Amino acid sequence: MMVQRRSEFELFYDSSYFTTRQLHPVAAVRLSFLGYARWAAEHAAPFPTMIAEHHAGFAVVGIRLDYGRPFTFLDGTRLQMSSTSRLLSQLTLMETVTTIVSDTTHLATVSLLCRALDVAPGDGMLAAPSRLASSVVGSYRPEEIDQDDKPVDHVEAILSRLDATVPQLVEGTSQRLIDRQLCEAADQWCFTEVIGLVASARETLIDDRADEFPVLRTGLSQRLCQVVVKLRRPLFLHDRAAIRTRMYTDHERRLFVHHISGASGAVHAIAIETLEPPQ
């Protein structure tokens, strides 16, 4: 039986890869996409070549980060990543999954769901949703293609359960300019930075209202166990984002739900952070 091909790499990390509690969520997602870039270079085409010569690219539309065992900066010295890639939904979606370990300790698994794009020639990298270019599809093995698979919408599944059964505790709104530090090569927000944006919004809510709602402080003291993100449309350089953040308590777990909107009020992304229960 054939198995999906993997790309594997290792790095010796520094303190910037970690918060005081765990592997930094932004670092985990960055490592995941780096894992896909390596997979593509080894088995299909390097990402810049894919865009420049095959006029094909991907836009990340979904992120799922699941943390494993507790692990902090001083618990090891290096990280090992292993990534796969497969095509889904009539060749319109690509899923890449990266596991992150340190020797025998599993730190995290990151799944990125990406929409295939047709990229126009030229430096502007204008793109539109499309089936993936046949010249790139040909690099995938049959066991790496499932045209009928339609991924689960993890964000909507959690929201439906919360809205039906769990009362909201507190909410707040913060503002953020999408500056170039948050952007990627096409001058639109970089999906990895959305993870940091919502973490900042959570801590802003805590800073603003923890005296009134002390339970908010668990948003600083507890480890994240999961982050899921649904990206609907990009924000561009110097757009202004409003992030509406709500906190829920579901049994022993605390959840922070974020809706990121642009100037028109349209929602551009929804993210849900789930914290580990207090010990």
Supply 152's token pair. 């689960």
Low-confidence ranges of the chain (pLDDT < 70): 1
Using CA atoms, how far apart are residues 127 and 130, in angstroms rounded to an integer?
9
Q: Model's pTM, two decimal places?
A: 0.96
Non-local (6+) Cβ contacts of 24 within 8 A are 16, 17, 18
Nearest to 129 by CA among 98, 96, 90, 155: 90
Using CA atoms, how far apart are residues 241 and 200, in angstroms rounded to an integer?
13
Q: Is 62 helix (H, G, I), strand (E, B) or coil?
A: strand
> Cα 119 to chain center, whole Å?
22
Q: Compute the mean pLDDT over every residue in the chain, rounded to the nearest whole number.
A: 95
**CA-to-CA separations, 213 to 48, 117, 223, in angstroms, rounded:** 48, 44, 19
Domains and CATH numbers, the chain: 7-150 (3.10.129.10), 155-275 (3.10.129.10)
